[in-house]
Amino acid sequence: MSHATFAAPDLTMFCRLDELGLVAVGQHLEPDRAVIECRVAEPDPWCRKCGTEGVPRDTVMRRLAHEPFGHRPTTLLVRVRRYRCDHCRRAWRQDTARAAPPRAKISRGGIEWALGAIVVDHLTVSRAAAGLGVSWHTANSAIITEGKRRLIDDPARFDGVTTIGVDEHVWRHTRFGDKYVTVIIDLTPTRNKTGPARLLDMVEGRSKAVFKQWLAGRPKPWRDGIEVVAMDGFTGFKTATAEELPDAVPVMDPFHVVRLAGDGLDRCRQRVQQATVGHRGRAGDPLYKARRTLHTGANLLTDKQHARLEAVFVIAEHVEVEATWGIYQRMIAAYREPDKHKGKAMMRSVIDSVTSGVPAALVEIRRLGRTLKQRATDVLAFFDRPGTSNGPTEAINGRLEHLRGSALGFRNLTNYVA
């Protein structure tokens, strides 16, 4: 244990009341609640109208929810002295702005604790409200107001952004209203290996117009500083980027490119399954048993998985699945190649092979080839700018899903965005 200097126990300092301009004068403990009686540290006797020293008149009590101690809601019972000026007959109270905003029910220390509980500890608003001992609406309003002031309205929030990722996200699973939002992520820390990606903004809807309007609303110097935009295969995002960020390079990230190939592999397997056995996959069907193994990288297959795939590919009717699987594996190998110049050449070879001369029977590969032909420049751009994957964007989308699940769903998009 390090040699520390200890002072006498001080409830004011321990509960951080000195930061709020308060002094603790008493306490009352209950099994489920603690009440700390306080007074305002600095007197306020001077009249703001005529400057005359006022006369103490009486005191009023102000109750403020404070950060909990020992998992017990803590309430501050603040004695506020009232003064009266004998000269101009004006009356006023001691200033408690350091302790809490006017008419607020939660102290500034309590609001800071609640905001940290939501942002850092990933608690729900319900748990934060229970810790403060207030209603859900009281806690939610205070947290949103403070979060908007400190996080959303921070003028430096968009500083230093050179790489962004854009993707859509389902924020509610109902048939009423628009269920999609467009999520914009700052990928600059990930690309520069200085930290994790961070959420920049969330806009209602998913379309070219939504993303274009958001970009148009940013200052021109900020738009001129954007170098790379990572996105999926949605052409609306690409068109909006080309119109508002003409100097930025659109990159179709590996996550979505590989998923396109993986979806084609699944469709091919399902089509061949129906054609050969006449029903959907069942537990004993070779193709159905190998559905997950088909998505495993060839260099990661175990001996058992190798044997399973060999048993599938030895059947003549499964040749289309084997051909589609080969394209899928070549794409994975290109992205996993440590030498990005070699990886780019491998990916270019894959694109060339699926865009011409593909037999008509391989409908999934032909469909994949049409997409890759249109977005070939965007796909190959990744190899010249490593670290621009939209994987962090998908990770943040996963956290948003967790948030929505913890809250048992949202009805108000403003609260969800905040």
Token code pair at residue 272: 């061949």
DSSP assigned state of 291 = T
Among 112, 123, 177, residue whose Cα is nearest residue 151: 112
Rounded percentage of the chain residues whose pLDDT exceeds 90: 47
Name the strand (E) or helix (H) holding 204: strand 198-204
Residue 124's pLDDT is 84
- Whole-angstrom Cα distance, residue 374 to residue 257? 13
Q: Which long-range contacts (CB under 8 A, 24 or more apart) does 281-286 make?
A: 286/311, 286/312, 286/315, 286/318
According to DSSP, the residues that pair with 163 across neighbouring strands are 228
Q: Residue 1: pLDDT above 60?
A: no
- Average pLDDT in the 84-106 region? 89
- Average pLDDT in the 302-322 region? 91
177 or 228, greater pLDDT: 228
DSSP assigned state of 22 = E
Residue 2's pLDDT is 61
83-87, 244-248, 294-298, 363-367 — which is least confidently predicted?
Answer: 83-87
- Average pLDDT in the 33-55 region? 88
- Average pLDDT in the 54-83 region? 91
- Whole-angstrom Cα distance, residue 15 to residue 103? 22
**pTM (2 d.p.):** 0.71
- Average pLDDT in the 37-48 region? 89
Q: Residue 295: pLDDT above 90?
A: yes
Among 61, 37, 56, residue whose Cα is nearest residue 45: 56
In 176-318, which residue ranges form alpha helices assigned H by DSSP? 188-192, 208-216, 220-224, 235-244, 254-277, 286-289, 303-313
Residue 37, SS3 per DSSP:
strand
Rounded percentage of the chain residues whose pLDDT exceeds 70: 100
Please state, as a whole number, how many other Cβ atoms lie within 10 Å of the Cβ of residue 13: 13
Name the strand (E) or helix (H) holding 65: strand 55-66
227-282 residue pLDDT tens: 999 888 888 999 999 999 999 999 988 888 999 999 999 999 999 999 988 888 88
The band of 31, judged by pLDDT with boundaries at 50, 70 and 90, is confident
Q: Residue 107: pLDDT above 70?
A: yes
- Whole-angstrom Cα distance, residue 30 to residue 396? 41
Residue 116's pLDDT is 92
